[in-house]
Structure 1
Amino acid sequence: MGQDPATVIAGAGINPDLLRNPENSLSFIELDRLVQACVAATGCEHFGLLVGQRSTTASLGLVGRLMRTAPTLRDAILDLCTNQRRYVRGAVTYLVIQKDTAFWGYAIHHPGMKAIDQIGDGAMAAGFSFMKELVGAAPDEILISRRAPGNTAPYRLLFGSTPRFDAQQYAMAFPVSLLDRPVRSADRELRRILEKSVAAYWAVEQPSMTHTVARMLRARVIFPDISLEAVASELAMLPRTLNRRLQAEGKSFRELVNEARFEVARQLLAGTRMDVTDIALALGYANPSGFTHAFQRWSGVAPSEWRAS
């Protein structure tokens, strides 16, 4: 696009050499600054989409290699969901099944992010690329949790149809049956070797229980069942054990639910044109007044005032 990458990267306060080694890492705040700088320099409002569509599973390094050996699409997606939490601390990749529909989504839970629309667009473009590569199939629908940009042609060109903008989540929706489709490059023997390599690679650091539950809730807060029992079951522990682990870290399950709801509410109010009533329903409130009262407790102002400001 006619801009020098090193100049743009340095202008965002990041040493360009840091990006030369894939084993290095950026904080989510640095990523946020970098993406904003790229959009400002190029004037391209779908910059994140262009970055994401260049991604393949090879972009994911060791985890991508593991995905390519998976027996089914479900296994490949879970490879990413399971391992992503070990090196990405500001967002979560998730697989949620509702009746006959699977949602493979991406949610940012790091507070204060300004380039959520660009990063979310990139995640959907990357996920779309991963699905086509792994099983040769595309999702039925792309959900984009942002206002539609002025030019939606790049989205139609990539996805084959216009995504559903102003959605509750960034996700790809497709029939549950597609999860059982075999991965083209499945390799049982190589997978055994890679599973050991991945386990050894990430053995150094594990997320706290608070962080683990916060990620789970950010992904599931717009779905019906976010009870303590459901989360504990997914973590293979008793509800009272989960409560005790959280209390030892100075948090309660209810606090984490409220924090997840507040974060999603702000993202939907700022990034989409969803009505406050629809946001309330999406977050599990029976009526808008309950959501408004909760939001006022969290922020000090009503949702409509917060959005206007």
Structure 2
Amino acid sequence: MDGQQRVGVLVALPLVLQELGEDPARLIAGAGIDPELLHNPENSLTFVELGRLLEACVTATGCEHFGLLVGQRSTTESLGLVGRLMRNAPTLKDALLDLCTNQKRYVRGAVAYLVVQDEIAFLGYAVHHPAMLAIDQLSDGAIAVGFNIISELSGTAPDEALLARRAPGNLAPYRQFYGSTPRFDAQQNALAFPASLLTHPVRGADRELRKTLEKLVASYWAVEQPSVAQTVTRLLRARIVFPNTSLETVATELSMHPRTLNRRLQAEGKSFRDLMSEARFQGARQLLEGTRMEVTEIALALGYAEPSSFTHAFHKWSEMTPSEWRKHGNAGLDRLQ
């Protein structure tokens, strides 16, 4: 499954390339994509195409913060109908849930999530497409989009940006955009801010217009809804680095009894245990490849009480230890395919 990503803010990508001295049409076409596709924010790219394009952009420009440069040009307008819905939400929480709930309609392969823990809210973004390239660039862009959205809707910027990638050589663009240095080598790509901000009313929201927009959003992307297994995969990828992620908590999120969730997964030939393992494996691979986190830190982040248990599980998944995977990079993934 290639997954898909709405073009949205990517309409700014050709301009960023031009500003960096590249020929946008030539480079985009060279990545196997019709340049015209990026002229309409309602078009879509597959995740394979998007990863290939972002990787080509970084290679050609030598710009390690390319994703940030694209994402920082966003507003709620970049999100189309969902952005309009968000601008007419009663509170910031309602607006962010609009984004997280409707994202599955036009994005397959990544998940936006809102989690509150210990009075801190996290608006995060996690890729679960198995063959995505340039995850650091896509995530940089997504977190920049989230930063602009929260600032626009609440009038207050998030406290901190967490990025699950190694720090690039030039930190100045990040400091300039976020107002401080993000926390690199983090266990998730997310924005952290006080949970109390979620109750902040969205200025200028129109209740009646929102009712109309809710119907438009539902009908505009009248696509096949994700299966139960796909829905659980999205939830697990979003919550895998948070404590107490279990069958019970996921079932509660889906308003199901745990036994009902198990039965529905079994009907699709899946099990919760296997989906949890897949989510941990994806999370582990991305943290090993993208960050400088120690293996022990990654094990704890993914819910393992002992690093040895994590190493055993990772070897079972990949026939390699975590350290070997980090050393060989994507060669490990090629071995599995």
Query: Number of aligned pairs?
Result: 309
Which aligned pairs between 1:34-49 and structure 2 lie closer than 5 A? 34-49=53-68
Q: Which residue pairs with 2:14 in the alignment?
A: none
Question: Which residue of 49, 70, 73 maps to 1:54?
Answer: 73
> Per-residue CA shift, 1:189-232, capped at 9, x if unaligned?
11111111112223332111111110000000111121111111
Question: Which residue of 249, 257, 271 maps to 1:252?
Answer: 271
CA distance in 2, matches of 1:57, 1:25: 18
Q: Aligned to 2:223, what secondary structure does the other structure show?
A: coil
CA distance in 2, matches of 1:154, 1:209: 40
CA distance in 2, matches of 1:82, 1:268: 26
CA distance in 2, matches of 1:249, 1:283: 26
Q: Aligned to 1:270, what secondary structure does the other structure show?
A: helix
Q: Aligned to 1:86, what secondary structure does the other structure show?
A: helix
Greater shift, 2-11 or 283-292, is seen at 2-11
Q: Aligned to 1:236, what secondary structure does the other structure show?
A: coil
Greater shift, 36-45 or 13-22, is seen at 13-22
Q: Aligned to 1:96, what secondary structure does the other structure show?
A: strand
Q: Which residue pairs with 2:37 in the alignment?
A: 18
Q: Which residue pairs with 1:162 in the alignment?
A: 181
Q: Aligned to 2:105, what secondary structure does the other structure show?
A: coil
Maintained 8 Å contact 2:66/2:137: yes
Q: Aligned to 1:94, what secondary structure does the other structure show?
A: strand
How far off is 1:112 after superposition?
2.2
1:232 aligns with 2:251: yes
CA distance in 2, matches of 1:15, 1:123: 23
Q: In structure 1, what residue type is equivalent to 2:273? A: R
CA distance in 2, matches of 1:116, 1:203: 28
Q: Which residue pairs with 1:107 in the alignment?
A: 126
Greater shift, 191-200 or 67-76, is seen at 191-200
- Structure 2: gaps of 5 or more residues: 1-19, 329-337
CA distance in 1, matches of 2:35, 2:263: 44
Q: In structure 2, what residue type is equivalent to 1:257? A: M
Greater shift, 32-41 or 259-268, is seen at 32-41
How far off is 1:306 after superposition?
1.1
Q: In structure 1, what residue type is equivalent to 2:165? A: R
CA distance in 1, matches of 2:40, 2:157: 31
Q: In structure 2, what residue type is equivalent to 1:46? A: H
Q: Which residue pairs with 2:316 in the alignment?
A: 297
Greater shift, 239-248 or 164-173, is seen at 239-248
TM-score by length of 1: 0.98
Q: Which residue pairs with 2:222 in the alignment?
A: 203
Q: Aligned to 1:225, what secondary structure does the other structure show?
A: coil
CA distance in 1, matches of 2:242, 2:264: 24
CA distance in 2, matches of 1:256, 1:16: 37
How far off is 1:122 after superposition?
0.5
> Per-residue CA shift, 1:251-297, capped at 9, x if unaligned?
10000000000000000001000000000000000010000000000
Percent identity for Structure 1 against Structure 2:
73
Q: In structure 2, what residue type is equivalent to 1:72? A: T
> How big is the alpha-carbon RMSD for the aligned residues of Structure 1 and Structure 2?
0.9
CA distance in 2, matches of 1:145, 1:23: 28
1:262 aligns with 2:281: yes
Q: Which residue pairs with 1:97 in the alignment?
A: 116
How far off is 1:43 after superposition?
1.4
Greater shift, 243-252 or 25-34, is seen at 243-252
Q: Which residue pairs with 1:70 in the alignment?
A: 89
Q: Aligned to 1:231, what secondary structure does the other structure show?
A: helix
CA distance in 2, matches of 1:85, 1:2: 35
Which aligned pairs between 1:179-218 and structure 2 lie closer than 5 A? 179-218=198-237
Maintained 8 Å contact 1:134/1:185: no
Q: Which residue pairs with 1:174 in the alignment?
A: 193
- Structure 1: gaps of 5 or more residues: none
> Per-residue CA shift, 1:142-162, capped at 9, x if unaligned?
101000000100000000000
Greater shift, 210-219 or 178-187, is seen at 178-187
